[in-house]
């Protein structure tokens, strides 16, 4: 776990935070321009010299290797990433490889030799500017090779976890509404999938439920009005909890599908998750009712339904209905696009299904059949 600082304005401490590790920082930012002047001032005040790498779009192995080559000899003391999940994952991977200097392809899961990571990692500080991936609390960096032969795979090691996470909800004020919607649904999906995961535990269940409660109350208000400070704090908190939980429990079928979807098509991660989560939940519920009616995740889903409806007295069936109603309602209200908007056709479904059984699918509460996974896609095609 990183040391966590949470609250409006904590971004101004970034320079002092970086200075605890040394005087030379590599700043990794995303494609969107951020109000850098304020942050540069924070580094200057702390007498930290910064070099800067910009990562547009989701990071590829080539981009990571290029940054590592460029700064391998630069005596960087600390890597600071400021941005969405892409910038944070890029910073995490670069911090991991800056000292060893080898290609990230040697460590990517399911790609190449999968050599164990030996380190050492340069200290890494994460400042998320969106509320979605929870990357500031996780040990994996997701890298994307896009295209027909594409993949989305993780570079994963405990040593990659950020030393510090500075979570400032005020970054969300300037986040585009479509990004707030997609990332908010990603956080919500990560909380829900952690809560029902085959590796769920009491600690994560408590955190996930609190995150789901915050998301219930903050997701739509934030989408409707990013100047709502309470909603910003609620979603930033839900997102942070989602990262803490998923690092312990793994995820489920939605993230299993998001991986090939994001590799083969230019669909943002949160959009893929948000558009699929309602139907994926429906499929998990019906598969367990049919094949494993005693499965504990059935009660876990009912617990979330009662939380979303804010009615503790609901029967199991009523609670499941309330859960699905709310998920479909958010899918509509947040205008999450169908898969066809990103170039996916029905002919692509078999290939997506065939590539969906990565690490996330392994912790789905029930093993799904190919036709069930295909049905999740079909409803949102
Ligand atoms: Zn996610």
Q: How far is the CA of 43 from the centre of ligand 1 (A)?
A: 31
Contact status, residue 222 vs residue 180, Cβ threshold 8 Å: yes
Could you give the CA distance from residue 233 to residue 248 in angstroms, rounded to a whole number?
Answer: 23
Q: How far is the CA of 269 from the centre of ligand 1 (A)?
A: 6
Q: How far is the CA of 281 from the centre of ligand 1 (A)?
A: 15
pLDDT tier for residue 112 given thresholds of 50, 70 and 90: confident
Q: How far is the CA of 251 from the centre of ligand 1 (A)?
A: 8
Q: How far is the CA of 132 from the centre of ligand 1 (A)?
A: 7
Which residue in 102, 219, 209 sits closest to 155, CA to CA? Answer: 102
Whether pLDDT at 289 is above 80: yes
Q: How far is the CA of 91 from the centre of ligand 1 (A)?
A: 17
pLDDT, position 148: 78
Mean pLDDT of the chain: 95
Residue % of the chain over a pLDDT of 70: 99
pLDDT tier for residue 36 given thresholds of 50, 70 and 90: low
Tell me how far CA of residue 269 lies from CA of 21, 76, 326, in angstroms. Answer: 32, 30, 21
Which residue in 73, 327, 4 sits closest to 193, CA to CA? Answer: 327
Whether pLDDT at 235 is above 60: yes
The arithmetic mean of pLDDT across residues 242-267, rounded, is 95
Q: How far is the CA of 22 from the centre of ligand 1 (A)?
A: 32
Contact status, residue 338 vs residue 275, Cβ threshold 8 Å: yes
Partner residues linked to 17 by β-bridges: none
Could you give the CA distance from residue 258 to residue 153 in angstroms, rounded to a whole number?
Answer: 11
Q: How far is the CA of 289 from the centre of ligand 1 (A)?
A: 26
pTM value is 0.94
Per DSSP, the chain holds a count of helices (H) and strands (E) of 13, 8
Q: How far is the CA of 274 from the centre of ligand 1 (A)?
A: 9
Q: How far is the CA of 317 from the centre of ligand 1 (A)?
A: 28
Residue % of the chain over a pLDDT of 90: 91
Q: How far is the CA of 296 from the centre of ligand 1 (A)?
A: 23
pLDDT tier for residue 33 given thresholds of 50, 70 and 90: low
């Amino acid at each position: 776990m990183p040391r966590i600082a949470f609250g409006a304005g904590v971004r101004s401490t970034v320079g002092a935070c970086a200075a605890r590790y040394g005087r030379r920082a590599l700043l990794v930012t995303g494609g969107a321009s951020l109000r850098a002047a304020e942050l540069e001032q924070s580094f200057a005040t702390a007498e930290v010299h910064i070099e800067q790498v910009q990562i547009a779009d989701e990071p590829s192995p080539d981009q990571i290797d290029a940054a590592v080559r460029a700064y391998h000899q630069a005596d960087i003391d600390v890597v600071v990433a400021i941005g969405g999940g892409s910038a944070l994952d890029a910073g995490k991977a670069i911090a991991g490889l800056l000292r060893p200097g080898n290609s990230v392809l040697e460590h990517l899961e399911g790609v190449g030799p999968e050599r164990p990571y030996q380190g050492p990692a340069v200290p890494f500080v994460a400042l998320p500017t969106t509320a979605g991936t929870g990357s500031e609390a996780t040990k994996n960096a997701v890298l994307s090779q896009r295209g027909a032969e594409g993949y989305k795979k993780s570079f994963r090691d405990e040593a990659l976890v950020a030393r510090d996470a500075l979570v400032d909800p005020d970054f969300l004020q300037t986040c585009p509404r479509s990004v707030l919607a997609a990332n908010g649904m990603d956080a919500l999906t990560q909380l829900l999938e952690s809560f029902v995961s085959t590796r769920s535990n009491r600690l994560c269940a408590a955190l996930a439920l609190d995150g789901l409660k915050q998301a219930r109350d903050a997701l739509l208000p934030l989408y409707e009005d990013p100047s709502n400070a309470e909603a910003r704090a609620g979603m930033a908190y839900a997102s942070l909890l989602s990262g803490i939980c998923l690092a312990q429990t793994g995820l489920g079928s939605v993230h299993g599908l998001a991986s090939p979807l994001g590799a083969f098509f230019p669909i943002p991660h949160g959009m893929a998750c948000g558009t699929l989560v309602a139907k994926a939940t429906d499929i998990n519920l019906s598969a367990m009712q049919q094949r494993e009616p005693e499965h504990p995740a059935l009660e876990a889903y009912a617990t979330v339904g009662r939380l979303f409806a804010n009615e503790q007295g609901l029967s199991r069936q009523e609670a499941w209905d309330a859960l699905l109603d709310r998920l479909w309602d958010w899918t509509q209200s947040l205008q999450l696009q169908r898969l066809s908007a990103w170039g996916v056709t029905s002919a692509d479904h078999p290939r997506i299904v065939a590539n969906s059984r990565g690490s996330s699918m392994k912790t789905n509460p029930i093993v799904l059949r190919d036709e069930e996974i295909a049905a999740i896609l079909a409803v949102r095609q």
